[in-house]
Amino acid sequence: MSDGSIPIAQTRDYRTLDHMNDDIVNAINNVVNQDDILIHLGDWSFGGIENVEIFRNRILCNNIYLVLGNHDHHIQRNKDNTQRFFINVFDYLELMYNKTMVVLSHFPFSSWNNLNKGVVHLHGHTHLSEEKKNLLGRRMDVGLDGHKNFRPYDLKKECIDVLTQKEIKSEFHTYDHHLDELTRLP
């Protein structure tokens, strides 16, 4: 709005966008150290291209990788060379972490590469509350706004260690032909 306020339904109980942004930046800086790696799953700056650099300068971590979200069009087009603020920028990312393959995207997938082999899928976008974060199978919304302590998730302790204990399942249940291989295991 012209006075800096935004409708409460759009701010997750914050009166202003600045108040919400301050809490997000503080939550990141409280748990992510300068030499850590932060993988941000999109929607880096909602509210204009000028906020891309402002947020980057406020976050203390030197090693930020960005997986683009639906509000990152300035960064996606690299307007004003905005991609320079990140180590790398991706539409989608697969990485190996301690022998566990992880698929990272802003958007949730119902089926993803090697789901049937236990690959973990982490995403943002949906703003799920804590009790809805751990979905069917090895998929999880890791947006900090749903974390019980409103902070980024620890990749190993809160994601991989939790999700690799879950059964390999698809939201398509038995209709997902990628799970056929599981029934043919010796």
What distance in Å separates the CA atoms of residue 108 and residue 140, rounded to the nearest whole number?
8
Structure-derived torsion over alpha carbons of residues 25, 19, 74, 105, reported in degrees to the nearest 10: 60
Percentage above 70 pLDDT, the chain: 82
State the DSSP string of the chain. Answer: -TTSB--GGGTTS-SBHHHHHHHHHHHHHHHS-TTSEEEE-S---SS-THHHHHHHHH---SEEEEE--TT-HHHHTTGGGGGGGSSEEESSEEEEETTEEEEEESS--SS-TTGGGT-EEEE-SS---GGGSB-SSSEEE--GGGSTTSSPPPIIIIIIHHHTTSPP--TTGGG-GGGHHHHT--
Task: Say what the pLDDT of residue 127 is.
Answer: 75
In terms of residue numbers, what domain contains 161? 92-176
For the stretch 56-90, pLDDT in tens is 999 999 999 999 999 999 999 999 999 999 999 99
64 part of a folded domain: no
141 part of a folded domain: yes
pLDDT confidence tier of residue 53, bands split at 50, 70 and 90:
very high
34 part of a folded domain: no
181 part of a folded domain: no
105 part of a folded domain: yes
Q: What angle do CA 114, 105, 67 make, to 5 degrees?
A: 135
Instruction: Tell me how many domains the chain contains.
Output: 1
79 part of a folded domain: no
Percentage above 90 pLDDT, the chain: 56
